[in-house]
């Protein structure tokens, strides 16, 4: 009997070794049978949208995809260390009137499908400030940068096609720019963006900042450390419980509702050499030139009509030799005349009933 004990023990061990998998197989088989005979409740569960495909703002893009794209293409913002509004602010979500919680480097993001282009997504990065404390300043300041993204299946394969930097939108001083992503070396990541001191216009180069509208300065610049990118959702479906999204206190609503990548604008960017950053609204430039009294300077390249459509010819770095002495001269001329520029613009605004000031969205 004792001779059998090891074998018996071995048998028990074997039984213990193989018992668990056998039990699992049995459970799996039972589960399958139950699923078949119970009207496939497991399949019904699989059809229910999972947490990973949640679409809180109902625009057809999952929260996860929006979040991934916003993180991947976040621009490298440069801000002035002497900005009197310090840095982009975080606003109290529950307050319908925009109320600063902290000047802490929060960036607010938005992602939505491009109309009639289901494989493309537009990203907006809003840098929202306590105040515009430059010339003709005012409380609250809503500025942004945008990207047009081509999806290639998922966020990791996505590529930026174009970038847009807003500067004094909807004013006679509009100096917004558009560029092919390749021009900015920003197909797989966000570009460098210079934010002017106090006015908070966004520019794709430091030199462009100086040609904004006479009041823009990009001096004593330092990288913005972004504390968080907060997805605001869509105007009809704000996320994070944000109550100030449609506030009439600032012109944010119109920036949320419109595309920055119109077909004519993209066509102009496509026609330009790949080294060029172009004005988004070149029709505004002659009016600015008239006010500034420096026809040559506004083109950025100081070559007259040829430059009317081009903000700046650039290369991969901001210190490229493409930035000729002519442009530096133009920027210097604007710099010297800037104080008078804003006085002239103030008079213009008074005469024309707010030609300069951004129009507030009506509630």
Q: Which residues bind Ca ion (CB under 5 A)?
A: 57, 59, 111-112
Smaller CB distance to Ca ion: residue 231 or 314?
Answer: 231
The nearest distance, CB 52 to Ca ion, in angstroms, is 16
The nearest distance, CB 109 to Ca ion, in angstroms, is 9
Token digits of residue 236: 């009809």
Smaller CB distance to Ca ion: residue 114 or 346?
Answer: 114
The nearest distance, CB 177 to Ca ion, in angstroms, is 24
Smaller CB distance to Ca ion: residue 164 or 194?
Answer: 164
Smaller CB distance to Ca ion: residue 61 or 165?
Answer: 61
Smaller CB distance to Ca ion: residue 112 or 250?
Answer: 112
Smaller CB distance to Ca ion: residue 56 or 348?
Answer: 56
The nearest distance, CB 239 to Ca ion, in angstroms, is 8
The nearest distance, CB 258 to Ca ion, in angstroms, is 14
Contact 179, 278 (CB under 8 A): yes
The nearest distance, CB 114 to Ca ion, in angstroms, is 12
* Rounded Cα–Cα distance for residues 139 and 243 (Å): 18
* Rounded Cα–Cα distance for residues 227 and 21 (Å): 49
């Amino acid at each position: 009997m004792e001779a059998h004990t090891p074998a018996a023990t071995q048998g028990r061990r074997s039984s213990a070794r193989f018992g668990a998998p056998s039990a699992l197989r049995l459970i799996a088989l039972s589960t399958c049978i139950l699923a078949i005979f119970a009207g496939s409740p497991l399949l019904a569960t699989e059809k229910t949208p999972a947490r990973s495909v949640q679409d809180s703002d109902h625009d057809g893009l999952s929260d996860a995809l929006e979040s991934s794209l916003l993180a991947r293409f976040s621009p490298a913002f440069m801000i002035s260390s002497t900005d009197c509004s310090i840095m982009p602010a975080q606003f109290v979500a529950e307050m319908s009137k925009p109320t600063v919680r902290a000047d802490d480097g929060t960036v607010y993001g938005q992602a939505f499908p491009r109309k009639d282009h289901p494989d493309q997504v537009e990203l907006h990065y809003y840098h929202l400030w306590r105040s515009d404390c430059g010339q003709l300043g005012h409380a609250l300041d809503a500025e942004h940068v945008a990207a047009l993204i081509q999806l290639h299946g998922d966020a990791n394969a996505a590529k930026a096609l174009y970038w847009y930097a807003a500067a004094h939108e909807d004013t006679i001083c509009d100096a917004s720019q558009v560029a092919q992503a390749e021009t900015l070396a920003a197909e797989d990541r966000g570009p460098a963006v210079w934010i002017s001191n106090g006015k908070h216009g966004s520019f794709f180069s430091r030199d462009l900042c100086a040609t904004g509208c006479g009041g823009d300065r990009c001096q004593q610049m330092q990288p913005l450390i972004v504390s968080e990118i907060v997805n605001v959702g869509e105007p009809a479906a704000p996320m994070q419980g944000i109550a100030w999204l449609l506030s009439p206190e600032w012109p944010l609503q119109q920036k949320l509702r419109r595309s920055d990548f119109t077909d004519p604008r993209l066509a102009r960017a496509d026609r330009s050499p790949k080294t060029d950053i172009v004005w988004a609204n070149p029709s505004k430039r002659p009016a600015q030139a008239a006010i500034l009294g420096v026809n040559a300077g506004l083109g950025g390249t100081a070559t007259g009509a040829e430059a009317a459509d081009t903000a700046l010819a650039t290369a991969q770095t901001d210190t490229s030799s493409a930035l000729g002495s002519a442009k530096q001269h133009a920027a210097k001329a604007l710099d010297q005349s800037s104080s008078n520029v804003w006085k002239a613009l103030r008079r213009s605004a008074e005469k024309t009933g707010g030609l300069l000031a951004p129009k507030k969205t009506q509630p």
